[in-house]
Amino acid sequence: MAEQATFYERIGGQTAVTTLAHQFYDVMQRDSIARDVLEMHPDDLTRSRKRLANYLCEWFGGPKLFGQPYVNPDWLKRRHQHLSIGVDARDQWMHCMTTAMRELNYDLQLQQDLTKVFFELAGFMRTRV
């Protein structure tokens, strides 16, 4: 049986994954609905963009740019522990990601599949109700 394509392959490789991370932060900077999440970030998003791109590459089955063994949900949660993340922040984060995928014209099946895994991980990042 043929192996299932990874998200990394389905998105279109490293350049496409990097584009997604940039579009995500472009939406966050543009859409006032994501104001609270934007305010949690540093003014200069250069590092955040790069870290997210590298994380996504590795998490989705591409090159290990982020550095093992750190791409796991528990580690990521610890990196968010100092933030106040409730359902509002989770939904703002999801708004940025789902909007980014839509604006990049991902096919609907890919949008649905990615939304599911992003939503699970974003929910896990919550530090309060």
Q: Which of 52, 57, 96, 114 binds ligand HEM (CB under 6 A)?
A: 52
Site string for ligand HEM, 109-128 (x = CB under 6 A): ---------x--xx--x---
Say if CB 104 and CB 19 are below 8 A apart. yes
CA R_g for the chain: 14
Residue type, 68: Q
Q: Which of 22, 77, 80, 95 binds ligand HEM (CB under 6 A)?
A: 80
Say if CB 11 and CB 110 are below 8 A apart. yes
CB of 59 to ligand HEM, least distance (A): 7
Distance CA 51, CA 65 (A): 9
Residues that bind ligand HEM (CB under 6 A): 37, 40-42, 47-48, 51-52, 55, 76, 79-80, 83, 85, 89-90, 93, 118, 121-122, 125
